[in-house]
Amino acid sequence: MAGSVQRSRADWIDVVRGTAVILVILVHALQRTELFTGHEFAGLETLTIVVTPLRLPAMFLLSGLFVTRSLAKGIRPYVAGKLRRVAWPYLLWSILLIAFFWTLLQVTGIGFGWEVTWRIFYDPIEHLWFLAYLLLYFVIALLLRWIPAPYLLVGVMALSAVPIEGQWLRFWANASFFFAGVVLAEHRRTLERAVARFWPSVIMLVSAIALSIG
């Protein structure tokens, strides 16, 4: 029975994560198509607004679900795991992305060169801000692990309400979803029951979006 429950839990998490990734690709593909071709997709703005909570916020929340379990393994395994699974991909893809745009610059005159390399450490390049933020959230969770998760979530939400320009709002708003995941990890059974009721709503939502766009 325990194995069955664990398997079901892994399945729904994979489904949510996969759905979020597909929605990210879909919205960006449509936006880029509009930008480069001039063709406008009816309802794209509505689609973007509706699925926003189901994209990156969902991915941050799912990442937060595993923080408590990771910390329980000890600080050394926690740090090693985040360096291997988050920091290293972020560094590798940043370098590959810079190399790509440098090559594009040489061929077409559009792009940027290796002078932006230092941005890796303070201003993530293009879409890689997701991995950079995620790494920082794991660091915050480690450094502030002595604070109860609900209190930490309240603090993060308060920071997201501070009117500071730049990336402040986006950083702390997404952090709210991440630490909401940390809180939800303490209520796994309740979460499982909620997910069981959630999928019919998702199916109806996607159907409504498809009909409105069409």
Q: Are 51 and 27 in contact (CB under 8 A)?
A: yes
Identify which of 136, 128, 115, 119 has the alpha carbon closest to the alpha carbon of residue 178.
136
Q: Is residue 90 part of a domain?
A: no
Contacts with 9 (C-beta within 8 Å, 6 or more apart), sequence order: 188, 192
Q: Is residue 61 part of a domain?
A: yes
What six digits make up the tokens of 12? 């729904």
Q: Is residue 147 part of a domain?
A: yes
Domain assignment of residue 166, given as a range: 2-72+128-213
Predicted structure pTM score: 0.76
Which residue carries 């019919």 as its tokens?
Answer: 200
Q: Is residue 166 part of a domain?
A: yes
Tally of domains within the chain: 1
pLDDT string in tens for the chain (214-residue length): 344 444 444 566 666 666 666 766 666 666 667 666 766 666 656 656 555 556 678 889 889 989 999 999 999 999 999 999 999 999 999 999 999 989 988 888 888 888 899 999 999 988 899 999 999 999 999 999 999 999 999 999 999 999 898 889 989 999 999 999 999 888 777 766 666 666 555 555 555 555 444 4
Q: Is residue 89 part of a domain?
A: no
Q: Is residue 78 part of a domain?
A: no
